[in-house]
Structure 1
Amino acid sequence: MYCPACSHDKNPPGADACTNCGLALTHLDAPAPNGPVEASLVTDPVSALDPRPPLTVPLDATLGDAIRQMTTGRIGAVLVTGPGGDLVGILTERDFLTKVAGAPGFEALPVSRFMTPDPETVAPTDVLAFALGKMDAGGYRHLPVVAAGKPVGVISVRDVLRHLTTVCQDG
């Protein structure tokens, strides 16, 4: 790796500092975004998606309570909160299809039995690429946005696509 300060070109690839003069080289090794979409993914925070406020249900809610919230709010996921308001789980449309469908009297069953406990989350300040990577790795369509343990929003794959479409139109 070439050092711009002393012109030393014998630094190993990925070196933290120049072996000749000691100049920090880590900032030179960072990938540079190629185009507006990549720039947005690596620089824009999750908050740029303007996450919608989360619809929540308490841990002791029933599936009937949760599905009414989802239907009324026209959303695909509700966040489950504990007594102090901390996020403890998420219940999604997929959970209803894979875990609940066919359960007799499901409306009275507890959310806690079917929710995904301790879901992956992002902070409002995390970059979009980080959030998208979590969604891809876990196969998630919804990701809670959490600040200080409390849910402050939910983002979806559709939110990311909508944002990137706007970036493409502006670029």
Structure 2
Amino acid sequence: MLVRDAMSTVVLTIGPAHTLRQAARLMSARGIGAAVVLDPEAGGLGILTERDILNALGAGHDPDRETAHGHTTTDVVFAAPEWTLEEAAAAMSRGEFRHLIVLEGHEAVGVVSVRDIIRCWVRGARRDTEPERERAGALAG
């Protein structure tokens, strides 16, 4: 299975001047754990995750004054839609993060998370075991 099969194509893009509270509200409203931060002055695309916001709040930062710019990861590892889920999971494991921005050319076309990968793997495992369950049911009947 490929990243394109698992990724979310709903990409929340925010600017570096968004406050952490604004970013958290937007992420919460969409039920997502990361926002792509478009900051041309800092080199283009970065990512702000729920963990970044949590760490800022835990450190006592004011979510109404702190901006995404100060908490964005800019040394981002990007994925391609053609990567396998195993390649994406390996990159996440190596980097110790849970989200990858998916690029096609220079455009962010999605975000893939650990949760997305697990969902696909579980669905795939269910499909793989269904024929076995059907055979077992036929033998029992």
Superposition TM-score, scaled by structure 2 size: 0.79
Q: Cα distance 1:156–1:50, how it changes in 2: closer, same or farther (>3 A)?
A: closer
**Match for 1:95: what amino acid?**
D
Tell me the residue number matched to 1:56: 13
Query: Residues 1-171 of structure 1: matches in 2 within 5 Å?
Result: 44-83=1-40, 87-171=44-128
Provide the C-alpha distance between the structure 1 equivalents of 2:109 and 2:38, rounded to a whole number of angstroms.
12
Structure with greater helix percent: 2
Higher Rg: 1
How many residues get paired? 127
The gaps in structure 2 that reach 5 residues or longer are 129-141
In the alignment, is the contact (CA less than 8 A) between 2:7 and 2:111 conserved in 1?
no
Provide the C-alpha distance between the structure 2 equivalents of 1:161 and 1:51, rounded to a whole number of angstroms.
13
User: Could you tell which deviates more after superposition, 102-111 or 61-70?
Assistant: 102-111
Tell me the residue number matched to 2:139: none
In the alignment, is the contact (CA less than 8 A) between 2:7 and 2:113 conserved in 1?
no
Q: Cα distance 1:50–1:134, how it changes in 2: closer, same or farther (>3 A)?
A: closer
Provide the C-alpha distance between the structure 2 equivalents of 1:141 and 1:159, rounded to a whole number of angstroms.
10
Superposition TM-score, scaled by structure 1 size: 0.66
Structure with greater contact order relative to length (CA < 8 Å, sep ≥ 6): 2
The gaps in structure 1 that reach 5 residues or longer are 1-43
SS in 1 for 2:110: strand
Q: Cα distance 1:125–1:158, how it changes in 2: closer, same or farther (>3 A)?
A: same
| 1:50 Cα offset (Å) | 4.4
Q: Over aligned residues, Cα RMSD in angstroms?
A: 2.0
In the alignment, is the contact (CA less than 8 A) between 2:78 and 2:101 conserved in 1?
yes
SS in 2 for 1:64: helix
